[in-house]
Every structure is written in C-alpha cells, then in structure tokens.
C-alpha cells in the first residue's frame, strides 16, 4: 500500500485539537475542512505548517502531481448575449 504524501488532515486536526480550531486558524468553515481529502490542500498545508511553528510535516515536492495543478488546457465557453 502506498504511503500518503503531503500533510495529513488527521495530523493537522490532532495538532490544533479539533476541526473547529483548524478552520479558525485558517479563517475557513469547518465544512471546508471536513470536505478536504486525506491530504490537506497545498495552500492550507503551507499555512498550517507556518502556524504550527513548522511542527506539522510539509514537503512541497509531495504536491507536484496533476491533482494539485491548475487546469490550463480548458477552453473557456463562448459568451452569449
């Protein structure tokens, strides 16, 4: 079984004590935290790394797969008036 790369949601919740506290320090809703996959999204992970005084694990190279890249190959829909 492959190891999950990146900051784990459960580790951030354990460090800050609850989903509510994670949401509060990030200025987002608790529902947003609940909706995260097992790996914390890159921007939130970077902020939590700083806010934890570098105690939470963060390796930016873990966030280089396709799921974290903006989709640049999409063509915008034509606007209709």
Q: Using one digit for the tens of pLDDT, what is the confidence trace for 22-50?
A: 999 999 999 999 999 999 999 999 999 99
Placement of tokens 């829909």 in the chain: 77
Residues 6 or more apart from 59 whose CB is under 8 A from it?
Answer: 5, 6
CA-CA distance, 68 to 26, in Å (whole number)? 19
CA-CA distance, 51 to 58, in Å (whole number)? 12
pLDDT of residue 34: 97
Please give the model's pTM, rounded to 2 decimal places.
0.73
Say whether pLDDT at 2 is over 90: no
> Which fold would CATH assign to domain 9-56?
434 Repressor (Amino-terminal Domain) (1.10.260)
Q: Using one digit for the tens of pLDDT, what is the confidence trace for 47-71?
A: 999 999 999 998 888 887 645 554 4
Q: Domain limits of the chain?
A: 9-56
């Amino acid at each position: 079984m492959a190891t999950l790369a990146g900051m784990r949601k459960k580790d951030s919740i354990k460090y800050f004590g609850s989903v509510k506290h994670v949401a509060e320090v990030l200025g987002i809703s608790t529902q947003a935290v609940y909706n995260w996959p097992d790996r914390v999204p890159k921007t939130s992970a970077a902020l939590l790394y700083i806010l934890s005084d570098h105690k939470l694990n963060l390796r930016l190279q873990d966030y280089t797969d396709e799921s974290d890249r903006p989709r640049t190959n999409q063509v915008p829909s034509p606007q209709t008036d």
